[in-house]
């Protein structure tokens, strides 16, 4: 298969290169990714400035934009052959629950939905992963499964892998997104000239993190696979909201 790889940690990130090496041993891969860490960029596109691209000696395309920019550019003129699938990752750090709203890793996969094939976002559940190879093996297994058993075209798989050796995994689990507690308060500091600066602090711990959630699967050393949709409409509220606005 022809597979487009991207991420949000940057085009030289070890997780991306591990994924490239393992998947590239079996499939034809093209890597188009941000030229630096763009974690938390979500689905943002660069529309007020041009994008610049450099191709490294190893063939990796590095884009001075966001993850969504990278995939959008790849699918709309940068590369010659259209891929059959988009895989985003391997992210250093989990993308669980509310994280999916902010995640550039998930956003790159979402941008790939226009292919008409399911896309995969894959993350290693550690901010300093020691077992990228485990997540890469999981990604390759899911790619092969999607090739033989395709899912609906609008499905995006958000995959989180415990940071353990492959033979320590307790299996695979299809999960729903959990929810986090409120994030820690920002940290106020000062730059060398005395001007106030603020650091966004760590995300909150799992609040809705019981059985069936992605948090619970990771806690129990299981690969979490959550199907995502781009459609944010709350369909169950359409009828009641129609009544609510009737007299406006």
Is residue 83 scored above 90 in pLDDT? yes
Residue 204 has pLDDT above 70, yes or no: no
What pTM did the predictor assign? 0.91
Query: Stretch 51-69: mean pLDDT, rounded?
Result: 95
Per-residue pLDDT averaged across 157-184, rounded?
92
User: What tens digit of pLDDT does each residue of 123-135 get?
Assistant: 999 999 999 999 9
**What tens digit of pLDDT does each residue of 223-240 get?**
999 999 888 888 999 999
Calculate mean pLDDT across residues 69-97.
94
Indicate the Cα dihedral angle 172, 37, 209, 218, nearest 10°: 30
Q: What's the pLDDT score for residue 39?
A: 92
Instruction: Return d(Cα 19, Cα 62) in angstroms, integer.
Output: 16
DSSP conformational letter for 35: S
Tokens of 29: 């891969």
Average pLDDT over residues 55-76: 95
Q: For 13-56, how does the pLDDT look when each residue is reduced to its tens digit (9 = 90+)?
A: 999 999 999 999 999 999 999 999 999 999 899 999 999 999 99
């Amino acid at each position: 298969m022809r597979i487009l790889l991207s991420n949000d940690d940057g085009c030289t990130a070890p997780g991306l290169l591990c994924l490239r090496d393992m998947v590239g041993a079996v499939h034809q891969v093209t890597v188009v990714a941000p030229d630096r860490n763009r974690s938390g960029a979500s689905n943002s596109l660069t529309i007020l400035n041009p994008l610049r691209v450099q191709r490294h000696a190893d063939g990796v395309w590095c884009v001075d934009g966001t993850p969504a920019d990278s995939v959008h550019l790849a699918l709309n003129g940068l590369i010659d052959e259209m891929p059959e699938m988009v895989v985003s990752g391997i992210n250093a750090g989990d993308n669980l629950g509310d994280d999916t709203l902010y995640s550039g890793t998930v956003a790159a996969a979402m941008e790939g939905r226009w292919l008409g094939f399911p896309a995969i976002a894959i993350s290693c559940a550690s901010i300093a992963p020691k077992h990228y190879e485990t997540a890469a093996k999981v990604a390759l297994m899911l790619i092969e499964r999607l090739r033989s058993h395709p899912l609906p075209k609008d499905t995006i798989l958000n995959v989180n892998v415990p940071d353990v050796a492959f033979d320590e995994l307790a299996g695979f689990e299809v999960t729903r997104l959990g929810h986090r507690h409120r994030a820690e308060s920002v940290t106020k500091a000062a730059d060398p000239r005395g001007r106030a600066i603020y650091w966004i602090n760590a995300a909150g711990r799992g609040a809705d993190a019981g059985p069936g959630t992605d948090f619970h699967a990771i806690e129990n050393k299981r690969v979490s696979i959550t199907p995502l949709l781009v459609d944010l409409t709350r369909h169950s509220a359409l009828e009641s909201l129609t009544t609510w606005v009737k007299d406006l």
